[in-house]
Amino acid sequence: MTDPFSIFEAWYSEARTSEINDYNAMAVATVAADGQPSVRMVLLKGHDERGFVFYTNYESRKALEIFATGRAALLFHWKSLRRQVRIEGPVQRVSDVEGDAYFATRSRDSQLGAWASDQSRPLDSRATFEARYEAVRARFEGIEVPRPPHWSGFRVQPVRLEFWQDRAHRLHERRLFTRCAEGWSEALLYP
């Protein structure tokens, strides 16, 4: 049996060199309490055997849906490699130490934007957001921008990883890894 994290790392490394833009872009799917699904693109900011990490406003739609269900699904699609990786599992918050460390690596403008944005909420005009941004910029002028208490990361802890490889005539290869007591079980799926 092969370790799915080793396969992911190999594919991710190839994507890093072959994808023109945002090799770390992934779709995050969540579901609302009424069963309505929602999907959006985010950037992978870390991964290891514990899971796959992205950062967001904890008051955003995706975060509220994650808090409500405790689950999410991810999808990487590397068109240039003709590959996809699907990941499903429970979600947990990253530690404050991890959140602070990542926030410190963001550009100052992105840090200020995290304070200025009420992500996913209605906005009456772009001017309102720009005025909020300018107010936040003035507030933190000359000092480090701390991570907002409503902004940090999530770690999707995979219980299923599927590796999809394009093949001629739509005879694709699909390898599914499912977490089990012994680690991972592996199976093939029909294309």
Catalogue the active-site residues. Answer: 170
Q: In 3D, which of 163, 159, 167, 158 has the Cα closest to residue 188?
A: 163
d(CA 65, CA 127): 29
Mode of pairing for the β-strands spanning 71-78 and 25-31: antiparallel
DSSP 109: H
The backbone region for 136, taken as left when phi is positive above 0, alpha when psi lies in -120 to 50, beta otherwise, is alpha
Backbone angles phi, psi at 71, to 5 degrees: -140, 160
d(CA 118, CA 122): 8
d(CA 7, CA 80): 17
**Counting runs of H as helices and runs of E as strands, what totals does the chain give?**
5, 10
For residue 166, the cross-strand partners are none
